[in-house]
Chains A and B, each alone.
Chain A
Amino acid sequence: MKRAPLWIAILTAFTAASHAAAERLDDLSLEDLVKTEITSVSRKSQSAMDIPAAAFVITAEDIRRSGAQALPDVLRMAPGIEVAQIDNGRYAVTARGFNGRFANKLQVLVDGRSLYHPMFAGVLWELDPIPLEDIERIEIIRGAGAVMWGANAVNGVINIISKPARSQHGGAISLSAGSKGAGNLYARIGQAVSDSTSWKLSVQGRHIDPSPQFNQSTDSVDRLNNAVVDFRLDHAIGDGRDLSIWANASRSKITELWNTNPTFSPTGGLALSALTPLQELHSESLVARYRWLSDSGIESSIQASGTSSGIDITRFIAESRTTVDLDYQARYTFERHDILWGLSHRSSSDEISTNEPYIAIASSSYTQSNTGLFVHDDWTLIPERLKLGAGVRADMTSRNGTNYSNNATLLWTPSRTDSAWFKFASAPRTSSRGERDISILAGAAVVQPPFNIPLITYVNANQNLGPEHAKGIELGYRKQFSSTLSADVNAYSYRYTNLRSGSQSDQFACNAMLAGFGFPLNDAKCGAFGVTGVPVMFVETQTINGLSGRSDGIELSSDWLVVSNWRLQLSYSWSRLVMDGSSNPSVNADAEITQRSGPRHYGSLRSQWNITTSQQFDLWLRASGGFDRQNLIDTTPSATGAPTFTHVPGYLTADLRYAYRVNKDLELALIGRNLINRHRLEYVSDFIPTAATALTPSWLISSRWSF
């Protein structure tokens, strides 16, 4: 109650200010309007007032003004999205918890083409899917979105929409260079062939020299070389019909440092030396979309795409893959209904070779397929006031059977400036090729001091691994306080079941001394690793659908145009995972690892200031709570062999951008990133024990010339 006077003062002040503005504009005649200058900061991200879900939009201007050079860094501005950099190219990105190098509960699409990798169940962020300059906007919808976006859109979907070719006529060249040997070149050319046909072709190349290792004097080996070529052709046929064709090819090359090469000593303990495998990724895709309108008013679209891609990690794994997607969607509005329905089919064939026994695959080639069918209706119960939505989807998969997802929403708009929504949704996550077929050496610890016996963990594939399930409820409220201030707040609670975890299946020793303590010998398996007779113990685990738990959170975002040339955008998220305990000690350990794996608080404050029409100054403050990541390998002897953790401390950091527009075609910018901490750890890699790198302040000078 004591704070009431402050809020009343602020609200009164805003209302007064906005009324003053409205009256003044109102008095303007058409003659005045055409002369009015917009020196305001960007346009408001498309209002999400009418969506009964937690939505956030990132515009092209937000991207440019963020100073970010890689897609995951852009996503840091959205509430509910966790982004952690692993090295120069690799990132862990998730929505609402469960972050990981292959975070598997987030669907990511570029113009409807999925980046979700069927092998790893996640996105390989080191491969640039599209130049940042070519992105028109990014729509982020948190929470289960499986009905419309398919299985695996469990915690959210990121929809990247590229600029139409007609808005990319002419040419542009953008060149950046900065500390850490960072270089970025982008070039584009586009043309209108006729009134109805336009095309554009763009290329982007990126390079970064290796990062420093965290808390080590030597650098890592994560030199990044990326290239992407993107072509788009749009043709309006007329009468509601249009055709778009995309062709895209990308390459990524980055070496990785693993301190995993073991040397066993007869007197116990474990010494590790470095391995530096080179990882090369490539992807080529061709997409065509045709949209048409029937005489009865049904809007339809059919999209077909083919992608050929490959992964090659030296002496570890090589994969080549061909994926074909077919997607049909239609929409029909009549009376008070707005019906959307669709049918999609995806087939993905691979050929994989691995370096056994460190990593082994059950079958070297496989084709997985998924057929989905959905229908959704938005039903206006009271015009302009109350809308009810409901949808259902069935996914027939080649290995996880048939899975259903559904949702129900209620959107209440008591006034033009307020809206409140409720959502219930469920989503399955189908298990990936890797999860079902790959067996892998997963970790190492040293136990039983003073004997210091190396304990190696090996995960065996489970070809019967089933789908994971999530369902939950969300509540949200949006308010436009005045023409210059809006806020959006939502809360959610989801329940997860059948989550993947490990379960110990076998334990054996490799020499007679340990066998004397009652552990069985397994000469065949020890021999495969060349450690027969060495004092080493193995623990084998198998993946099972054993983990369950709950996720709760609150997300907030606000947009305030303080004065016409200064905008502040705030986002904040609070999240908590509470996993269920289990009588199975391996599942219990996984519950603890999952629960501690992400930050509880995350916040971002962006300031965009147009000093003059030719100068911009932008500041971005980001803060995160700390969290703990499991050490995959720990050579410090421990009595129990229980998981050990590295604490990733919380941080506050700042990015800056100053841009000067020399003339209407040339812009120069100075960008500083991660300016507050001199040497910061942001993540500890899971699955693959990449040596931790440090984030350090970096500077970049960039020029952008359009013609």
Chain B
Amino acid sequence: MTLGIVTRLARRLAFLAAALVAATTPAFAEVSTEPQLKAAYLINFLKYVEWPETGTTITLCLFGRNSLGPYLAAHEGRQIGGRELRIRKVSSVEQLADCQELFIPDTEATHFAAIMRWVDKQPILTVSDAAMFLREGGTIALVRSDGGLRFDVNAEALDHAGLRASPLMIRLARQVTGAPR
């Protein structure tokens, strides 16, 4: 008897849950959560930056304790500019050798200096969501601004790494620091 009620209740709940989710799905199109947006930026940067050497794969590395992994998982194996996207988690500077883009979350800010020293003059696009990242020599900082997420570019660091960003990307940046003369 009781079991029957449970089953009926479960069915009703399942229906309700499905209805609720169906009703709310369109909202995703308009707004995004911050990690989703960060993940989308990381993917997009790969399309707007030129690396000196091109291979068949392009690797996005996520440093340390990382919250973006789950948001990026779906993109793994995609083709970006004719190269297959790989996503790797790294926890020490020695694993950075074949990274094209490196994301360092603000929670790992204590390692900025160690990473920047290692990355020095290598063609790696370094991105962080810490506002002070550019001052540490990073190339791109994702910053919250006016209810959205924008990005700052350190042109000098970009140049130093031997990377070229498209003019469109530079134009869309909130701030461009250290423009090369």
Contact = CB atoms under 8 A, between A and B. Distances in A.
B74 interface: yes
Contacts of A703: none
A522 B10 CA distance: 71
A36 B114 contact: no
A415 B73 contact: yes
Nearest to B43: A26
B65 A47 contact: yes
B37 A38 contact: yes
A483 B33 contact: yes
Given A240-B113, A297-B114, A563-B27, A30 B148 contact: no
Interface string A397-437: 00000000000000000011100000000000000000000
Contact of B34 (A30, A43, A239, A563): A43
Interface string A1-28: 0110110111001101101111011101
A3 B8 CA distance: 10
A33 B41 contact: yes
A40 interface: yes
Contacts of A335: 92, 94
A565 B30 CA distance: 11
A597 to B, nearest CB: 35
A564 B21 contact: no
Contacts, number: 198
B59 interface: no
B107 A46 contact: yes
B14 A38 contact: no
A5 B93 contact: no
Given A2-B6, A6-B14, A239-B113, A25 B37 contact: yes
A662 interface: no
A195 B41 CA distance: 27
B17 A37 contact: no
B11 to A, nearest CB: 7
- Interface hub of B6, B18, B71, B118 (most chain A Cβ within 10 A): B71
Contact of A338 (B13, B71, B91): B91
B66 A50 contact: yes
A203 interface: no
Nearest to B64: A50
B40 A39 contact: no
Contacts of A3: 6, 10
B97 interface: no
A179 interface: no
A167 B36 CA distance: 24
A36 B32 contact: yes
Interface in B68-109: 69-75, 87-89, 91-95, 105, 107
Given A10-B14, A38-B37, A333 B91 contact: yes
A380 B89 CA distance: 12
Interface string B127-153: 000011001000000001001111100
Interface residues of B, number: 75
A13 B20 CA distance: 9
A384 B73 CA distance: 13
A359 interface: no
B33 A29 contact: no
Given A2-B3, A38-B148, A46 B17 contact: no
A6 B12 CA distance: 9
B40 A13 contact: no
A9 B18 CA distance: 7
A564 B28 CA distance: 7
Interface of B, helix, strand, loop or mixed by DSSP: helix
A463 interface: no
Contacts of B131: 166-167
A31 interface: yes
A334 interface: yes
Given A6-B13, A17-B21, A562-B24, A293 B117 contact: yes
A44 interface: yes
Contacts of B132: 166
Nearest to A242: B113
Contact of B36 (A19, A21, A417): A21
Contacts of B66: 47, 49-50
A339 to B, nearest CB: 10
Contact of B67 (A21, A39, A49, A334): A49
B35 interface: yes
A35 interface: yes
B43 A334 contact: no
B120 to A, nearest CB: 11
A291 interface: yes
Contact of A34 (B88, B93, B148): B148
Nearest to A139: B107
A236 B135 contact: yes
Contacts of A561: 33
A480 interface: yes
A505 interface: no
Nearest to A332: B92
Given A299-B111, A486-B70, 14 more contacts: A2-B3, A6-B17, A13-B21, A22-B36, A35-B148, A43-B35, A44-B35, A49-B66, A166-B132, A195-B135, A335-B94, A416-B73, A483-B33, A484-B33
The 9 closest A-B pairs by CB, nearest first: A240-B113, A333-B92, A47-B67, A9-B14, A480-B70, A13-B21, A21-B28, A43-B34, A40-B33
7 contacts: A9-B14, A33-B149, A38-B33, A47-B66, A417-B70, A484-B33, A564-B32
